[in-house]
A and B are shown apart, each in its own frame.
Chain A
Amino acid sequence: MTQAGSLLAPLLPLYLRAVTVIAGGKRILDGVNLTLTTGARTIVLGPNGAGKSVLLRVCHGLVRPSSGEVRFNGPERIDGRRRHAMVFQRPVMLRRSALANVTHALALAGVPRARRQQTAEEALERVGLMRLAGQPARVLSGGEQQRLAIARAWALRPELLLLDEPTANLDPTATQAIETAINAVHAAGTKIVMVTHNLGQAHRLGDEVVFLDAGRVVEHVPMSQFLASPGSAEARSFLRGELPWA
């Protein structure tokens, strides 16, 4: 898989040009221009209703823009396997074992049977879930399910992993395990784009920030710069709201 990938044009950068999404008469995304390049871990920040989740879904192809263009540098699929994957806020687990959730995802992606077991086990190993491989996925804790979701996505060896608030509703220990898993995926060469509400997490995990407000990209800057000296009134107001003690 990796070899086939290296012969093809890399998936990234991802270009969004004047992307607008209108749903129910509301402009969820309003002329978004954004280029996401490989490497840096990108954190998407913004107030509720800014369009963060929809932005991720547009990138992943789950939501079609009403107008504008979403274009990857390279082909989105290799042998039927998608080159970008997504982890949702609420992990959706099939009524199968943890391991079978991963092997089934590989089967759907067209990975030959002979390779599924080993690939799935590697993925579980990477997020520290190997000892729970035989457990039914739905009886795992919320944090374990989310790590399993990351393993399931990572098993597909995506070049881009989109995560939509993966640690919402999780306790600090589970959150830390998720962050470790995300960093492991990043270390293996996958571009991370993540929505979060948690500024501490953004600071820990993010190299750069895409700040959304009312469906527009207001800032796209390095994390340190964003936190130290936000360039826009919207971002300053957002940071004040999120850091009431500052």
Chain B
Amino acid sequence: MSDFSAAFGAAIEMITSGNPQLVGIVLLSLKVSLSAVLVASLIGLPIGALLAVARFPGRRTLIVLTNALMGLPPVVVGLVVYLLLSRAGPLGELGLLFTPQAMVIAQAILVLPIVIALTRQAAEDAWSVYRDLLRSLGASQWRSAVTLLWDIRASLVTTVLAGFGRAAAEVGAVMIVGGNIDGVTRVMTTAIALETSKGDLPLALGLGAVLISIVVAVNAAAYLVNEWSARRYG
């Protein structure tokens, strides 16, 4: 117990003093996870909205599939991306393995089903209300999808943040495709795993505290955005 409190004290000290090693890891984590969420959102938001609006054969299969992929195991995604990017793999020539870009790709794949599925759900609820109006106004499927996205923008903040939570918290995928190289691809989760096994509890705990604070802060911000939007736009 005293071990733990000593480690915790040291962790607080690292955070408050802005330990450069810790700050570097936190910044890289944010950069990788935010980039992954950005990529996944650019692809996933329109696809989710179109899935809500369009009717085509195979739509339900696609919906079930994206819902199922929300629970994709990160290590499996890591493995697949690893195989794709490894020197002998089909994308090996890009030389991306063990780079932050590879980590962005892996996390974007993890986040994409979440963005698609949650967007589709919210957009479909809105579509049941707006369908007649948008059809009456002669909106194409694409314009309808874009109109819906803008109208449910407040709930999409929550969607995107759910994706960010997934990206920031996962360890398996970034560990495999990033390699946890100190100063290059070491992010919060992989660092926590490593430092814990090495016995460097202060750094692990400090990173854990930062990770949890970021997730809490981001969700608090999302909640406030939703509340403000409900008051402002009804």
Interface residues of A (CB under 8 A from B): 60, 62, 77, 80-82, 85-86, 88, 92, 94-96, 104-105, 108-109, 136, 138-139, 156
Contacts and interface: CB of A to CB of B under 8 A. Distances in A.
Contacts of A96: 150-151, 233
Contacts of B136: 60, 62, 82, 85-86, 88
Interface of B: 129-130, 132-139, 143, 147, 150-151, 153-154, 229, 232-234
A94 B127 CA distance: 11
B154 to A, nearest CB: 8
A95 B138 contact: no
27 contacts: A60-B136, A62-B132, A62-B135, A77-B138, A80-B138, A82-B137, A85-B136, A86-B132, A88-B136, A92-B129, A94-B151, A95-B150, A95-B151, A95-B229, A95-B233, A96-B151, A96-B233, A104-B147, A105-B137, A108-B134, A108-B137, A108-B143, A108-B147, A136-B233, A136-B234, A138-B233, A139-B233
Contacts of A139: 233-234
B152 to A, nearest CB: 8
Contact of B139 (A60, A81, A108, A138): A108
A109 B139 CA distance: 7
B228 to A, nearest CB: 12
A5 to B, nearest CB: 16
Contacts of A85: 136
Interface centre among B134, B135, B147, B233 (most CB of A within 10 A): B233
B138 A109 contact: yes
B182 to A, nearest CB: 47
A156 B150 CA distance: 22
Interface centre among A92, A109, A139 (most CB of B within 10 A): A92
B233 A92 contact: no
A23 B226 CA distance: 39
A51 B232 CA distance: 38
A94 B132 CA distance: 13
Given A108-B138, A108-B143, A92 B234 contact: no
B138 A136 contact: no
A237 B136 CA distance: 35
A42 B139 CA distance: 27
B233 A88 contact: no
Contact of A138 (B132, B135, B138, B234): B234
Given A86-B136, A94-B151, 16 more contacts: A62-B136, A77-B138, A82-B136, A82-B138, A86-B132, A88-B133, A88-B136, A94-B150, A95-B153, A95-B229, A95-B234, A96-B150, A104-B147, A105-B137, A136-B234, A156-B137
The 7 residue pairs across chains A and B that have the minimum distance between CB atoms: A138-B234, A95-B233, A92-B133, A108-B139, A108-B137, A136-B233, A139-B234
B55 to A, nearest CB: 14
B199 to A, nearest CB: 53
Contacts of A95: 150-151, 153-154, 229, 233-234
A213 to B, nearest CB: 25
A138 B143 CA distance: 21
Nearest to B143: A108
Nearest to B137: A108
Contacts of B150: 94-96
A136 B234 CA distance: 8
Interface centre among B129, B133, B135, B154 (most CB of A within 10 A): B133
B134 A136 contact: no
Interface centre among A94, A136, A139 (most CB of B within 10 A): A94
A92 B134 CA distance: 10
